[in-house]
Structure 1
Amino acid sequence: MKIFLENLYHSDCYFLPIRDNQQDLVGVELITHFSSEDGTVRIPTSRVIAQLTVEQHWQLFSEQLELLKSCQHFFIQHKLFAWLNLTPQVATLLLDRDNFAGELLKYPFIELLINENYPHFNEGKDNRELLSLSQMYPLVLGNLGAGNSTMKAVFDGLFTRVMLDKSFIQQQITHRSFEPFIRAIQAQISPCCNCIIAGGIDTPEILAQIIPFDFHALQGCLWPAVPINQITTLVQR
């Protein structure tokens, strides 16, 4: 996808791995970077997303969906899930247009990722759009603990998977109260979802500290994102 802001930028997609405690691959998050045409300037993805039109939101989502479809045999063969970021603009289209929704449902390994800043997130299942999405697709909360919301949406059981925010993990792990605090969170939310993931695993030291908590999966800079043409390297040990 190409977009013109003050300059022309193009999108590049990468797979950010999600691994279990044995560091085996269990899934990926599809992330997008935007760079200038000559590759010398990179613009923050959040800045680009904030300026997209509804049509451009859908164009980006469609391109990402096509990319995942092209890799579907890899995901099916290795029994992996793939997270696709869902913006409110795309969510509205998925709910309003049956043909869009039907296309996505053909690929059960795809899960839709939202964050705590999703509109009216604190309403939980009282948010009809969020409830409808959760009834149609596997939803993932990507940053629990970022400080932007209550836990209502989690307690309402709207998410298949919940990932603890990377900054939350890295800030709390330095405190002596980390162990009872994290175990209390796990006890609270484990009845509400199928999988709890720890983000922010950026160093071997953090990994060593987090392993005893037996999270279902882990994500962080310890396992860098790879371009699309290197996806098979993620399952090589």
Structure 2
Amino acid sequence: MRIQFDAAFNSSYLCQPIYSRGGELLAVELICRFVNTDSKLVMPTELVLNLLSSQQRYTFLQEQIAWATQQAAWFESNKVSLNITIEDKLANLVIEYPELKEALKALPFVNVNVSESFPEFSLGRKNKRLTEINQSFSLWLEGFGSGNGNMAPIFDGMFSWVKLDKNFFWRLYAGENFAVILPSLLRNVHRFCRNVVIDGLDTAEYLSAVYDTDIQGVKGLLWPGVEPALLDSLLARPPEFH
């Protein structure tokens, strides 16, 4: 997808892996980047989406659905999920245009990422848009602990997976009571959502700190994203788990 502002930007993608505690590939997050065609400057995706027209956002979402459809055999045969982020304005499109919703629903391996910054997130099931998305898709909560919402949607059982915000994890790890607080937090989340991923595992030290905790997935710069053409490389068990 090509976007023209003061300069031209092309959309490109990275596939960010999420592994089980044992090193099996659980899911791939489709990460979009908007790159300047001349300088290779990368523009923040959130900023770009806010600048796009409704039609451009529609095309952007169509582009991701088309890629997922092309890769369906790979995800299904390898039993790997694909996570696509649906923020506020994209959620409106999925609700407003049945063809988008049906195209996504036709891909059972696709999960929808929603962050705590989703408007009126803390209303939980009283949030009509969030509830409508939840009725159609398996939801992952992105950035739990970022401080932008409360736990009401988790208490309401709206999420299949909860992913701890990396900055939140780093603050916990730096605190004196990390070994007490993290297990307590996980127990509370597990009462309403069995699957928890910890983001921000950028070093072997971080991985070691959570390895024996009751988590179901890990993500971080220890396992950087790859170009879509290199999806197969993510299937190999990373050396950190050997």
What TM-score results when the alignment is normalised by the length of structure 1? 0.96
Q: Is the 8 A contact 2:116 2:149 kept in 1?
A: yes
* Unaligned residue ranges in structure 1 (runs of 5+): none
Letter in 2 for 1:77: S
Matching residue of 1:90 = 90
Matching residue of 1:115 = 115
What TM-score results when the alignment is normalised by the length of structure 2? 0.94
Q: Is the 8 A contact 2:138 2:159 kept in 1?
A: yes
Matching residue of 2:32 = 32
Aligned-pair CA distance for 1:46: 2.2
Once residues 6 and 36 of structure 1 are traced to their aligned partners in structure 2, the CA distance between those partners, rounded to angstroms, is 10
* Percent identity over paired residues: 27
Aligned-pair CA distance for 1:66: 0.9
Q: Is the 8 A contact 1:16 1:225 kept in 2?
A: yes
Give CA deviations for 1:30-67 in whole Å, capped at 9, x if unaligned: 00111111353222222212212222222111101111
How many matched pairs?
237
Once residues 51 and 175 of structure 1 are traced to their aligned partners in structure 2, the CA distance between those partners, rounded to angstroms, is 39
Equivalent residues in 2 for 1:150-229 (5 A)?
A: 150-229=150-229
Q: Is the 8 A contact 1:201 1:222 kept in 2?
A: yes
In terms of mean alpha carbon deviation, does 174-183 or 132-141 score higher? 174-183
Once residues 180 and 231 of structure 2 are traced to their aligned partners in structure 1, the CA distance between those partners, rounded to angstroms, is 37
Aligned-pair CA distance for 1:190: 0.9
Once residues 97 and 41 of structure 2 are traced to their aligned partners in structure 1, the CA distance between those partners, rounded to angstroms, is 37
Give CA deviations for 1:181-231 in whole Å, capped at 9, x if unaligned: 111211111122241110001111111111111310001111000001001
Matching residue of 1:60 = 60
Report the secondary structure of 2:30's partner residue.
strand
Matching residue of 1:145 = 145
Report the secondary structure of 1:213's partner residue.
coil
Give CA deviations for 1:78-135 in whole Å, capped at 9, x if unaligned: 1111100102222122223332222211111100101111011011100111111111
Matching residue of 2:136 = 136
What RMSD over aligned residues (CA atoms) do the two structures have, in Å? 1.3
Aligned-pair CA distance for 1:9: 0.6
Q: Determine whether 1:8 maps to 2:27.
A: no
Letter in 2 for 1:140: W
Once residues 128 and 226 of structure 1 are traced to their aligned partners in structure 2, the CA distance between those partners, rounded to angstroms, is 36
